Amino acid sequence: MIELSHSQVEHFIADGFVRIDAAFPRSLADEARAILWRDTGMAPDDPKTWTKPVIRLGQYGQRPFADAANTPVLRAALDQLVGRGRWQPPTALGTFPIRFPSPDDPGDTGWHIDASFGTEIPDFMEWRVNVMSRGRALLLLFLFSDVSEADAPTRIRAGSHLDIARQLAPAAEQGLTLRELAANGFAETAQRPQVLATGEAGTVYLCHPFLVHAAQPHRGTHPRFLAQPPLLPTEPLQLERERGDYSPVEQAIRRALAGVDQRPDPG
């Protein structure tokens, strides 16, 4: 089994994400994309039918999607980052924001983190996040098409999860709403370096649940297909473990609260 290297795990703790190339076969991406194209009602070979900058499709649990989410390399990486037995194997991939080449503003490109509880409230800005990341172990970005810098790759503020952990800590179990977190436009993370989630179809980014990220307009030529499901936990994160067996997700939060903010050595 190919596992994440020590440097990859340290990169995740410090920068808040790790990229896995060929995390699932391109053939599964092709099968899944065919299903998605069918449901868009648009034609893959006729750009005149691509009339919106972005459309969103719902949960998909058919075989190519479920198989893509449960490859041995991904399962091993999830065990390493979250802890064996501490996460639920995905049975479906969440919302697909499919982005099309367009000069129009898609209207959804603001910086944010994904909220994880209180989601029964209709106003999503009132959904909540707490320092224990209740209800979410990771954010996953699955690339189902090749994504270059022109193809509306997700923007990531590397290391921003540390800022968010420190912001959440005083709110304890209750946490903060997305409206409260976004009140200043995530200005406390503006100094963080920006990374683009590019890669070939089959690439997956495993992201800390507090990672600040954003969409952007599509300036390329081929539609971008991406899934962004949460990884659900089987137990709450813990920042005080008797045995000290903290997962990298927990280690990142603990380092942030201890004031440690060190980027990995690129060498």
The tens place of each residue's pLDDT in the chain, 267 residues long, gives 578 999 999 999 999 999 999 999 999 999 999 999 999 999 999 999 999 999 999 889 999 999 999 999 999 999 999 999 999 999 999 899 999 999 988 989 999 999 999 999 999 999 999 999 999 999 999 999 999 999 999 999 999 999 999 999 999 999 999 999 999 999 999 999 999 999 999 999 999 999 999 999 999 999 999 999 999 999 999 999 999 999 999 999 999 999 877 554 444
Distance CA 187, CA 72 (A): 38
Side chain identity at residue 41, one-letter code: G
pLDDT of residue 40: 95
**C-alpha 255, offset from chain centre:** 21
pTM above 0.75, yes or no: yes
CA distance 36 to 167: 38
**Local structure of 241: helix, strand or coil:** coil
Supply 193's token pair: 């370096």
pLDDT of residue 267: 42
pLDDT value of position 171? 96
Distance of CA 44 to the CA centre of its chain: 26
- pLDDT value of residue 263: 56
Say how far apart CA 218 and CA 104 lie, in whole Å: 9
The neighbour count for residue 34, using CB atoms within 10 Å, is: 11
Beta strands in 78-162 (DSSP E): 96-99, 128-129, 138-143, 155-157
User: What pLDDT does 138 receive?
Assistant: 98
Cβ partners under 8 Å of residue 84, min gap 6: none
